[in-house]
Amino acid sequence: MIAFTVKPLFSIVVLTLTLVVATFLISPPSPFSQFSLSPTSPSVRRLVEWRPCKWWLDGDLTALPAKNNGYIRVDCYGGLNQMRRDFCDGVGIARLLNATLVLPKFEVAAYWNESSGFADVFDVDYFIQQMDGYVKVVKDLPPEIASREPFRVDTSKRKGRKGQFDYIESILPSLLEHHYISITPAMSQRRDRYPLYAKAALCQACYNALRLTKVLEEKGAELLQAIPKPFLSLHLRFEPDMVAYSQCQYPSLSPASLESVDAVRGDRKPWAGEMATIWRNRGKCPLTPSETAFILQALSIPTDTNIYLAAGDGLMEIEGLTSIYTNVFTKSSLLSGEDFTSMHGNTKAALDYYVSINSDSYIATYFGNMDKMVAAMRAFNRMSKTVFLSRRAFAEFTSQGLKGKELMEALWKVHGDDFGMGRGYALPDCFCEFKL
């Protein structure tokens, strides 16, 4: 526990805040009880939680029309959780356009060391069963369609200003003409304008129907069993491509790390001068492992905490974390065998996802696709012990000259406030605010 030397009145405030965050990460009898995410003190309680909306879980399904308008295949690109997000969007679009959904196509990408498809990661039969009544899903196309590739519809320039009508007006004509189309959903679409039956299909797909294959679930359970309990799952992002894409400067990195970043930077040059400070203070720069360790200490997470590192290959400067938090575990350190070494990017990411939604606590240093999916799934399962470390707060406080104990106090307060108000812990597409 952090000791404070302050004026009497402020001491009371800080002591009260200490009680808030002391129940912030893991509830008693866990050794993480110094920072529990599930408040237990009657004088300190979370004010807002996100829970699945009743219109989705308890609402009446709108019957599927007897005749549909054709078939849609969702083409997914990127990492596993980005592809999962796109596929969920595609399910909503298929229901919106009254189309039959074909199993998606996952990108085969050398960059991600990836060759696994949808059926290699997710239980296809379970998905089809759970989507019954929400949208029609087929494994195989009719013979007259199966012999040809779908007509590709470009949605990359659909800015979503018309919401659902953008898809109806721009894509439905192609579906009616060609009867079999492929799309990659636009990131800027306005899902909040979907009719409830389309939103319900999206929500059902993302949080009730996408279950890992039996093989992956068994491997995930094996990994979960091997992690010392209790533990928190930490999703740390500090790979060379991540740093290069951020356009942030990290002059204190080792020569080897700087060389790795420069090798993948391309045309994305880092901001310099005043603009670099503005960019960092907007929270655009990934936290380094050492910065992450500092914030964890500020949140009174003991340095002997069991931490599962949910991360891909290529993390830089990891000793900045492991030199302080010594009980850090990874997939490769806990699992062995030829089946694991032969896994590709998607299946390894699936294991991180499985562990993270089942961990005692989940902490993310970023707010990417995996973090959004994991946080929402934990909210769905009423597992509220989730924290997003604030890159913006850390940058602003350090630019103001705060350091040491003063910086720790400021970080403690901002994270406690965010947690109490439930900021950022689930997206509003399928979840509604619930005031406690």
The pLDDT tens digits for 272-327 are 999 999 999 999 999 999 999 999 999 989 999 999 999 987 899 999 999 999 99
Helix (H, G, I), strand (E, B) or coil at 164: helix
Asked, for residue 260, whether it belongs to a domain, the answer is no
Domain end call among 194, 209, 224: 209
Asked, for residue 29, whether it belongs to a domain, the answer is no
Residue type for position 432? C
Q: Are residues 408 and 364 part of one domain?
A: yes
Q: Give dist(CA 403, CA 408) in Å, integer.
A: 7
401's CB contacts (< 8 A; 6+ apart) are none
Q: What is the pLDDT of residue 26?
A: 42
In what helix (H) or strand (E) does residue 418 lie, and over which residues does it extend? helix 404-420
Asked, for residue 275, whether it belongs to a domain, the answer is no
Q: Are residues 428 and 301 part of one domain?
A: yes
- The radius of gyration of the chain's CA atoms, rounded to the nearest angstrom, is 23
User: Based on the structure, what is the number of domains in the chain?
Assistant: 2
Q: What share of the chain is helix, strand, coil (3-state, %, to 5)?
A: 45, 10, 40
Q: What is the pLDDT of residue 313?
A: 78
The residues that bridge with 309 in the sheet, in sequence order, are 234
ω into 270 cis (within 30 of 0): no
Domain end call among 189, 209, 229: 209
Q: Are residues 292 and 194 part of one domain?
A: no
Q: Give dist(CA 150, CA 164) in Å, integer.
A: 22
Asked, for residue 329, whether it belongs to a domain, the answer is yes
Asked, for residue 292, whether it belongs to a domain, the answer is yes
**Is there a contact between 121 and 213 (Cβ–Cβ < 8 Å)?**
yes
Q: Give dist(CA 238, CA 368) in Å, integer.
A: 13
Q: Are residues 159 and 232 part of one domain?
A: no
CATH classification at residue 371: 3.40.50.11350
**Is there a contact between 295 and 325 (Cβ–Cβ < 8 Å)?**
no
Burial (0-12, 13-18, 19+ Cβ within 10 Å), 14: middle
Burial (0-12, 13-18, 19+ Cβ within 10 Å), 387: buried
Low-confidence ranges of the chain (pLDDT < 70): 1-45, 108-115, 156-166, 187-192, 339, 424, 426-427
Q: Which of 217, 180, 173, 162 is nearest to 355 (CA)?
A: 217
Asked, for residue 227, whether it belongs to a domain, the answer is yes
Asked, for residue 42, whether it belongs to a domain, the answer is no
Q: Are residues 179 and 322 part of one domain?
A: no
Q: Is the dihedral of CA 362, 366, 369, 372 positive or negative?
A: positive
79's CB contacts (< 8 A; 6+ apart) are 112, 345, 346, 349, 369, 370
ω into 195 cis (within 30 of 0): no
Domain end call among 209, 224, 254: 209
Q: Are residues 423 and 291 part of one domain?
A: yes
Q: Which of 42, 41, 23, 20 is nearest to 32 (CA)?
A: 23
Q: Are residues 219 and 192 part of one domain?
A: no
Q: What is the pLDDT of residue 319?
A: 97
Q: Are residues 117 and 218 part of one domain?
A: no
Q: Are residues 203 and 295 part of one domain?
A: no
Domain interval for residue 149 = 57-209
Is this structure's pTM higher than 0.75? yes
Q: What is the pLDDT of residue 2?
A: 36
Q: Are residues 299 and 173 part of one domain?
A: no
Q: Give dist(CA 19, CA 34) in Å, integer.
A: 9
Asked, for residue 36, whether it belongs to a domain, the answer is no
Q: Are residues 182 and 223 part of one domain?
A: no
Q: Are residues 334 and 192 part of one domain?
A: no
Q: Which two tokens stand for residue 174?
A: 């192609």
